[in-house]
Chains A and B, each alone.
Chain A
Amino acid sequence: MSEQNLRSHVGPYFGEFGGRFVPESLIAALDELEATYNVAKNDPTFKAELAELHRTYTGRPSIITEAKRFAEHCGDGIRVFLKREDLNHTGSHKINNVIGQALLTKRMGKTRIIAETGAGQHGVASATAAALFGLECVVYMGEVDTERQALNVARMKLLGAEVIPVTTGSRTLKDAINEALRDWVANVENTHYLLGTVAGPHPFPTMVRDFHSVIGTEARQQMLDEFGFLPTALAACVGGGSNAIGLFHAFLDDEEVQMFGYEAAGDGMDTPRHAATLNYGRPGVLHGARSYMLQDEDGQTMESHSISAGLDYPGVGPEHSWLKDLGRVEYRGISDAEAMDALRLLSRTEGIIPAIETAHAMAGVIKLGKELPSGSSILVNLSGRGDKDMETAGKYFGLLDAKEGKN
Chain B
Amino acid sequence: MAVTDAPKIITTRFDLDDGRTLAGYERTGGYESLRAALASSPADVLAEVKAANLQGRGGAGFPAGTKWGFLPADVHPRYLVVNGDESEPGTYKDRLLMERDPHQLIEGVLLASYAVEAKQAFIYVRGEMAVAQERLATALNEAYAAGLVGRDIAGSGWSMDVVLHWGAGAYIVGEETALIESLEGRRGMPRLKPPFFPAVKGLYLQPTIVNNVETLANIPWIVRNGGAAFAGLGTEESAGMRLFALSGHVRNPGVYEVEMGRTTFRDLIEAPVLGGGIRDGGTLKAFIPGGASAPWFYEEHLDLPLSKATVDKAGSMLGSGAVVVMDHTTDAVKACARIVRFFAHESCGKCTPCREGTTWLHQILQRILAGDGRWSDLELLLDVSDNISPGIAWPPRQTTICPLGPSAVSPIASALRRFRPEFEAYIEGGRHAGARPVGVDVLAGVAAG
Task: Tell me, yes or no, whether A binds B.
Answer: no
Q: Which residues of A contact B (CB under 8 A)?
A: none
Q: Which residues of B contact A (CB under 8 A)?
A: none
